[in-house]
Amino acid sequence: MGEYFKVFNLDRREVLDPSLLGQGLKPGDLGRNERLMMALTYLLARSGTLSGTRRHQQDPMFGRWSGQRITMVGDAFSGSTGELSWDEDTWTSRAEGSGNWVDISEHVLAAVEDFFQIPESDRRPIARPLRSVLHPDGRVTAIPVDDRGAG
């Protein structure tokens, strides 16, 4: 079995699911997940350009987590990080994008594959059903678990 990890932004209440990016959720999987490293680079960068385009000014995902409190928490962790208490139930709820948490993985994946110019043949399929909605103003809102259709 083992412990499963996801990446949490404590300030924005956002979740990044490494399994959507191409590997499992255990520590050994995370270390082999090239797209997870791309995603963290994309989310944490303060600025950046691609072919002269200032990405940080045009894409709400680029630099979204820069300067914020980010942590990787496993489902077996019981304790606190930041001001938040964790146990298996709260981990599951937050990891699913429940309550006031939002899973932004599908939006980050699409942005990362575009930015790093991943060939179409190597792109990961977007998980269905969708977990959240990216609005034109950059807000991301969760789709409640009970309202997620089959895609």
pTM for the whole thing?
0.86
Nearest alpha-carbon partner for 103 in 130, 64, 73, 138:
130
Between the alpha carbon of residue 52 and those of residues 49, 58, 85, 100, the distances in Å are 6, 12, 43, 36
What tens digit of pLDDT does each residue of 3-55 get?
Answer: 999 999 999 999 999 998 888 899 888 888 888 999 999 999 887 665 556 66
DSSP helix, strand, coil percent of the chain (3-state; round to 5): 30, 20, 45
Please give the single-letter amino acid code of residue 95.
A
What tens digit of pLDDT does each residue of 56-101 get?
Answer: 567 889 899 999 999 999 999 999 998 999 999 999 999 988 889 9
The CA distance from 148 to 109, in Å, is: 19
